[in-house]
A and B are shown apart, each in its own frame.
Chain A
Amino acid sequence: MTDIQYLAPRTLDEAVQAFAASSGKGRILAGGTDLLVQMRAGTVTPHTIIDIKKIGEMTAIEETAGGGFRVGAGVSGAILREHPKLKKVWPGVVEAANLIGSTQIQGRATAGGNLCNGSPAGDSVPAMVAAGAIVTIQGPKGRRELPVEAVPKGPGRLNLEPGEIVVSFTLPARPKGSSDAYLRMIPRTEMDIAVVGCGVSLTLEKGVCTAARVGLGAVAPTVLLVEGAAKALIGSKLDEAALDKAANACRAACRPIDDKRGTIAYRTQIAGVLLKRTAAIAAERAGRN
């Protein structure tokens, strides 16, 4: 192995500085559940590793003034699950993050890492997209914000400038009657990668859907925000016709590949099935809120 410089800065400024200085040969270490595996497989050979887990802002979950949440990019799935309020307000986001890997992996794996790995099959990403999460990014030129769906560029590629680090996800406050859900299709029950992943967030008023967002994973080069599906749901009572329309919108949005994990036909078909099932769970939860 090449000699690797390991840094564990205490501040975001130091981290950004070190990352920018690594001139493309640095990698951010959050949970490391992708990075270390890639290094072992020889697919990445970083010269500098910048561990962000000692930076307070990146490892905290804060409630925002309006009743939303700011979740540090370096918060592990296990910590997310244990937060007393988050899972009540955003159960879909929490369940999606908790599907990543095994129990042991949950102690390490983070939503920030999941997003920055750039895989279209990352489980937490469609749920974050459905949730309308805003990503805070810090780089050499300062801070900026992007909607989560704008961060991935393609498999393994991100719309980030050199030296930029994903700091946190901001999840908005929820009106009454809102909830979310995430489902994925995997051939096994655990320890697998999504063949299709679907996140749905919605708001119901007297049984009528007044707001909805749908995120779809593993069916295109990046996780998709499916606006057509949301439109089909909004204004409906989530009746069969509306769900069929939304399912078809999901299928129409799919641009999957045939590979060892699933066929084009299979992924396309399943995208619609999962939309209906996920929407039903989100609606059931929303009805209780």
Chain B
Amino acid sequence: MSTTTTTTAGDDNKWIGKRTVRPDGADKVTGRAAYAADTNMPGMIWGKVLRSPHPHARIKSINTAKAEAHPGVKAVVTAKDVVDFPIAKSVMLGIQDMRWMCRNVMAREKALFVGHPVAAVAATSEKIAAEACKLIEVEYEVLPFVIDVEEAMKPDAPVLHDHITFEGKPSNIAGKLEHKLGDVGEGFAKADVIIERSFRTQPVHQGYIEPHACLVSVSDGKATIWSSSQGQFMVRAMCAYLTGIPQNDIRAIPAEIGGGFGGKTIVYLEPVATLLAKKSGRPVKMAMTRTEVFHASGPTSGSYSKVKLGATKDGKIVAGEGTYCLQAGALPGSPIRGAAGCAFAPYDIPNVHSVGYDVVSNRSKVAAYRAPGAPIGAYAVECVMDELAEALKMDPLQLRLKNAAKQGTKAAHGPTFPRIGFVETIEEAIAHPHYKTPLAKPKNGVLHGRGVASGFWFNAGGESSAQVNVNEDGTVVVITGHPDIGGSRASTANIVAEVLGIDYRKVSVLIGDTSVIGFSNLTGGSRVTYASAMVVTQSTENVIGQLKARAAKIWKIDPEAVIWENGEARPAGDNAGKFEPMTLGQLAAQANATGGPIGAGTQLNTTGAEGGFATHVCDVEVDPELGIVRVLRYTSFQDVGRAIHPGYVEGQMQGGAAQGIGWALSEEYIYDKNGKLDNPSFLDYRMPVTSDLPMLDTVIIEVPNPKHPQGVRGVGEVPLVPPLAAVSNAIHNALGQRFYSLPMSPPKVLAALESKTAKAA
């Protein structure tokens, strides 16, 4: 099966929309790319973290004397060395509260999960650092613990944080978010069909291949941090907060990143390594093992949710109600906004009530994961949509089409949608050969099924900076402030080449560290190509203005009388005078004589990042004797606004589908009876491998975003929103049986089939 692309815009472009060679490709396949753990320094020592063996324990004392006396040990730090943010006052940095961040990087009053850092050691070798960790004496008062979200919400559950109360009582419910539209009571009263179901999902890890790592050198009070993250400015700000070093004395240098998917939007090691480096006077390197990544870095939430939809006989949805309880992990901050906000957004429903609860429990603090919360929201709604279609005897895509949000639809989470491309994703799916191809007949007991689901993600704009410089030889260097996790360098080069009218290969795009480029917010929220395009376009247009002025100066005509076309300055018309066009190279060569270097920077807080929608179609086969589900065919239909680099857009769509299939079928955190994660390895935390998946087909739909110079909408996160329900609905179609809990792993599928057989008998 081939990957198909629908292009509705931009065919006249030379570079935008083209599959240019990725600038990072050769380095990555030859092993030359420098990831966070690849940088070394003379005199460098190694940091190791001592982690809590208990899921919940008060820290009564920590004695580091023996560790400090151990030969080779250069520094030991505990929570005492980390800047304290008192519980009483919230200090926000983006979506992170520093009260929780300071307690997450180093346990303060309590250890709140197995793997929670309680101290760290820097020593001349990894082995000595690990030995010294064992010499640290921690006196714990072990407390009762709670892992599951439903358990944590019970009135008699062990309470993690004394200061958190809900409805006047100590509680693990740390927050509540509500979206209301119309009156659901009135809406359900009008419904002919009402379906209400409960769903459970397990926490799943982002699964980036590169574990967290950093190298930090502190000299004369100034810190240099090499690390793998989704935002060097986030690293700088968080380290400044947590170590007390001012931002001007911290230089955060982004390493090539080996995957993030949201999980590298916070820090774990950087502030600890900075404190160890400051204390020891030596550069300190730290790298997590895979086991540490699983124990102590953020997965996304597990959840318990309840969704109710009501429709009239003709298939018009009149009311929707959802309750989403999300595990935050040990400290508040689960993505309830994404779950409660995105769940109903694809549909034009007059009455909506969507509520999210942020629930703490004794597991690692969650971190962002690709459309945080939205897959959980969509899973419940899209499964109920499937049942609604069945009850109404409607095709599930027709039901979605009938109720699809479009321009002018008021969404429960606030906005009234401008021009969006959701309808187009459904129409393309209905018309696609995949949806029209009949399913294979059962063979050797193996059953086939097809499911569909849709999804929405907010997308984001925010702060970005870029500098575009013309070099003496007429080539161009562009610097942006965003780590490239999804192809932003190639996309940026496409845009600059297009706007300037020069060859793509003449444009190099670099990622600047915090000392060379202006503030740029995280790579997250599907914002980078969107926002980079805006600052890069504006900078390039400024450069073109300068180039025209230089040509005007040489020709001694008015700058207004010069136009820029195909990479050349030309007189606007015969009236302007007769001059041979001047290329970028010719103008660059004369730059010093005509006014000096040519370049421009732009810094913007970008707005207008409109939401993204997708519809997915999934075919599965189920072996009912083994309970195994295999995905046979999968097609994603997504409105991307404008695909600046279609190859990368397809990669995003395929990657999201692959992660969603893993979430649906095989990935989960499994805890033992002592509250310890029992599967902290890629062997037993089962992400799909290549052979588990078919070719994941993609259909790019381009309904340009009117608020963006190139029409871009965010691309990277929507692809993870529909798969959970698409797979679940396909399994129902194959077996005639519905599952309300993820993952739909072989033991679960088999047990459900056996209980069905038992009931029938």
A residues bordering B, Cβ < 8 Å?
A: 1, 185, 187-193, 195, 259-263, 265-266, 269-270, 273
Q: What residue in chain B is nearest A191 (Cβ atoms)?
A: B689
Q: Is the pair A193, B683 in contact by a Cβ cutoff of 8 Å? A: yes
- Tell me the smallest distance from the CB of A232 to a CB of chain B, in Å: 19
Q: Is the pair A1, B747 in contact by a Cβ cutoff of 8 Å? A: no
Chain B positions 653-706 with a Cβ under 8 Å from a chain A Cβ? 666, 670, 678-679, 683-684, 686, 688-689, 691-692
Q: Is the pair A273, B691 in contact by a Cβ cutoff of 8 Å? A: no
Q: Is the pair B746, A265 in contact by a Cβ cutoff of 8 Å? A: no
Q: At the interface, yes or no: B625 with Cβ under 8 Å from chain A?
A: yes
For residue A185, which residues in chain B have a CB less than 8 angstroms away from its CB? 626, 628, 746
- Tell me the smallest distance from the CB of A261 to a CB of chain B, in Å: 7
For residue A259, which residues in chain B have a CB less than 8 angstroms away from its CB? 678
Q: What residue in chain A is nearest B749 (Cβ atoms)?
A: A266
Of A188, A193, A195, which is in contact with the most chain B CB atoms at under 10 Å from its CB?
A188
The 0/1 profile, CB within 8 Å of A marked 1, for residues 723-750 of chain B is: 0000000000000000000000111001
Chain B positions 97-148 with a Cβ under 8 Å from a chain A Cβ? 127
Those 7 A-B pairs whose CB atoms lie nearest each other, nearest first: A266-B747, A189-B691, A260-B670, A273-B625, A260-B679, A190-B691, A263-B747
Name 4 extra pairs, CB < 8 A, besides A189-B689, A260-B679, A269-B750: A187-B686, A187-B746, A188-B689, A270-B750
A-B residue pair count with CB separations less than 8 angstroms = 51
Given known A-B contacts A1-B127, A270-B626, A187 and B745 have beta carbons under 8 A apart: yes
* 20 residue pairs bridging A and B, Cβ less than 8 Å apart: A1-B127, A187-B745, A187-B746, A188-B666, A188-B688, A188-B689, A189-B630, A189-B692, A190-B689, A190-B691, A190-B692, A192-B686, A195-B746, A260-B670, A260-B684, A265-B751, A266-B750, A266-B751, A269-B754, A270-B626
A192 to B688, CA, bound (A): 11
A148 to B666, CA, bound (A): 34
For residue A189, which residues in chain B have a CB less than 8 angstroms away from its CB? 630, 689, 691-692
Q: Which of B626, B627, B683 touches A192 (beta carbons < 8 Å)?
A: B683
Given known A-B contacts A191-B689, A260-B679, A273 and B747 have beta carbons under 8 A apart: no
Q: What residue in chain B is nearest A102 (Cβ atoms)?
A: B689
For residue A265, which residues in chain B have a CB less than 8 angstroms away from its CB? 747, 751
Q: What residue in chain B is nearest A262 (Cβ atoms)?
A: B747
A184 to B625, CA, bound (A): 13
Q: Is the pair A187, B684 in contact by a Cβ cutoff of 8 Å? A: no
Q: Is the pair B666, A187 in contact by a Cβ cutoff of 8 Å? A: yes
For residue B683, which residues in chain A have a CB less than 8 angstroms away from its CB? 191-193
A262 to B630, CA, bound (A): 18
Of A185, A260, A262, A273, which is in contact with the most chain B CB atoms at under 10 Å from its CB?
A260
For residue B750, which residues in chain A have a CB less than 8 angstroms away from its CB? 266, 269-270
For residue A266, which residues in chain B have a CB less than 8 angstroms away from its CB? 627, 746-747, 750-751
For residue A263, which residues in chain B have a CB less than 8 angstroms away from its CB? 747, 751
Q: Which of B127, B628, B678, B689 touches A260 (beta carbons < 8 Å)?
A: B678
Chain B positions 241-280 with a Cβ under 8 Å from a chain A Cβ? none
A192 to B691, CA, bound (A): 12
A191 to B682, CA, bound (A): 9
A265 to B670, CA, bound (A): 18
A262 to B684, CA, bound (A): 11
- Tell me the smallest distance from the CB of A235 to a CB of chain B, in Å: 26
A241 to B504, CA, bound (A): 70
For residue B746, which residues in chain A have a CB less than 8 angstroms away from its CB? 185, 187, 195, 262, 266
For residue A273, which residues in chain B have a CB less than 8 angstroms away from its CB? 625-626
For residue A262, which residues in chain B have a CB less than 8 angstroms away from its CB? 746-747
A265 to B692, CA, bound (A): 25
For residue B754, which residues in chain A have a CB less than 8 angstroms away from its CB? 269
- Tell me the smallest distance from the CB of B445 to a CB of chain A, in Å: 10
A49 to B692, CA, bound (A): 37
- Tell me the smallest distance from the CB of B367 to a CB of chain A, in Å: 23
- Tell me the smallest distance from the CB of B550 to a CB of chain A, in Å: 57
For residue A190, which residues in chain B have a CB less than 8 angstroms away from its CB? 689, 691-692
A188 to B127, CA, bound (A): 35
A118 to B702, CA, bound (A): 57
For residue B751, which residues in chain A have a CB less than 8 angstroms away from its CB? 263, 265-266
For residue A269, which residues in chain B have a CB less than 8 angstroms away from its CB? 750, 754
A1 to B131, CA, bound (A): 11
For residue A261, which residues in chain B have a CB less than 8 angstroms away from its CB? 684
A273 to B689, CA, bound (A): 25
For residue A191, which residues in chain B have a CB less than 8 angstroms away from its CB? 683, 689
Q: What residue in chain B is nearest A185 (Cβ atoms)?
A: B626
A6 to B396, CA, bound (A): 64
The 0/1 profile, CB within 8 Å of A marked 1, for residues 341-370 of chain B is: 000000000000000000000000000000
- Tell me the smallest distance from the CB of A220 to a CB of chain B, in Å: 18
- Tell me the smallest distance from the CB of A92 to a CB of chain B, in Å: 19
A195 to B750, CA, bound (A): 14
Q: What residue in chain A is nearest B743 (Cβ atoms)?
A: A187
Given known A-B contacts A262-B747, A263-B747, A265-B751, A187 and B670 have beta carbons under 8 A apart: no
A58 to B528, CA, bound (A): 57
Q: What residue in chain A is nearest B683 (Cβ atoms)?
A: A193
Chain B positions 610-627 with a Cβ under 8 Å from a chain A Cβ? 625-627
For residue B666, which residues in chain A have a CB less than 8 angstroms away from its CB? 187-188
- Tell me the smallest distance from the CB of A17 to a CB of chain B, in Å: 31
A46 to B476, CA, bound (A): 56
Q: What residue in chain B is nearest A259 (Cβ atoms)?
A: B678
Q: What residue in chain A is nearest B746 (Cβ atoms)?
A: A187
A266 to B627, CA, bound (A): 9
A261 to B670, CA, bound (A): 10
A261 to B678, CA, bound (A): 10
For residue A192, which residues in chain B have a CB less than 8 angstroms away from its CB? 683, 686
A260 to B673, CA, bound (A): 12
A261 to B745, CA, bound (A): 10
- Tell me the smallest distance from the CB of B373 to a CB of chain A, in Å: 26
